[in-house]
């Protein structure tokens, strides 16, 4: 017998958001099962409740991935509650299946975009899965129309595809799947740069203007600046966290 979601209504809403976000890959959901277009089935809720934060990061299910509501838009309250990191909880088998389970398989889907095509003309490689390259190109085009006072935050980038684990963990970085980008690190704040003790409370830091964040969110990218463990250079394609279930 498959585990039963703790909240059937909430679980169903989150399943519907996944289906809506990734229609080219996911076909249907029934009960506690998410079905892929190729017939593969994934259990949504593993039935394990009250996971601590480290377990959520290292051994989540799809339900955990959807658990924290991402605060889309320019209005949100800081500081965030401790360990409130919507999007950092990632069920790795989901992304391995969608984007590729090796560096070579991910690399096979990478295509170039032109970053800031009018002013910088920088060639970046990004995945074509889910047409992420089209979305990031649209982001780039809108960023290129910003005034120079804002454009300085994106004139340099910290990279896109890089098959690697998150520092200090065995979890693959979303950069491994070619669906993330870091913007100008000269203006970035990152919790690991500031925390001498990982158990200490983190004061929130950010220098990235929300005009930039809003453009990324418009095209399905969440921002690491809306995490307690802030990573303000980081954006990743996670449309399931930015849409309603209906």
Across 177-185, average pLDDT = 98
Separation CA 19–CA 25 (nearest Å) = 8
- The answer, yes or no, to whether residue 197 has pLDDT greater than 70, is no
Neighbours of 161 (CB within 10 A): 21
pLDDT over 70, % of the chain: 94
Neighbours of 27 (CB within 10 A): 13
* Lowest mean pLDDT across 58-62, 166-170, 242-246: 242-246
Single pTM value for the model = 0.94
Across 109-134, average pLDDT = 98
Question: What pLDDT score was predicted for residue 8?
Answer: 63
- The answer, yes or no, to whether residue 244 has pLDDT greater than 60, is yes
Sequence spans of domains, the chain:
1-67, 71-241
- The answer, yes or no, to whether residue 42 has pLDDT greater than 60, is yes
Query: Coil, helix or strand for 218?
Result: helix
The answer to whether the beta carbons of residues 66 and 17 sit under 8 Å apart is yes
Separation CA 176–CA 166 (nearest Å) = 10
């Amino acid at each position: 017998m498959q585990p039963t979601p703790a909240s059937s209504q909430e679980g169903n809403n989150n399943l519907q958001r996944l289906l809506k976000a990734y229609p080219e890959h996911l076909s249907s959901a029934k009960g506690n099962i998410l079905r892929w277009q190729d017939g593969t089935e994934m259990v949504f809720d593993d039935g394990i409740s009250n996971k601590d934060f480290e377990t959520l990061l290292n051994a989540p299910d799809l339900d955990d991935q959807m658990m924290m509501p991402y605060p889309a838009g320019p209005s949100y309250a800081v500081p965030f509650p401790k360990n409130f990191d919507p999007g950092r909880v990632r069920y790795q088998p989901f992304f391995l299946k969608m984007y590729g389970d090796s560096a070579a398989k991910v690399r096979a889907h990478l295509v170039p975009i032109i970053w800031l095509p009018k002013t910088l003309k920088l060639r970046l490689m990004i995945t074509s899965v889910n047409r992420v390259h089209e979305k990031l190109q649209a982001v780039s085009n809108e960023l290129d129309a910003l005034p120079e006072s804002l454009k300085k935050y994106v004139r340099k980038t910290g990279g896109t595809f890089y098959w690697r684990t998150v520092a200090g963990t065995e979890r693959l970085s979303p950069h491994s799947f070619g669906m993330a980008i870091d913007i100008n690190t000269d203006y970035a704040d990152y919790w690991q740069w500031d925390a001498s003790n990982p158990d200490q409370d983190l004061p929130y830091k950010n220098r990235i203007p929300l005009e930039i964040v809003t453009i990324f969110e418009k095209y399905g990218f969440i921002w690491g600046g809306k995490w307690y463990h802030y990573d303000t250079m980081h954006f990743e394609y996670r449309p399931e966290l930015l849409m309603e279930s209906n």
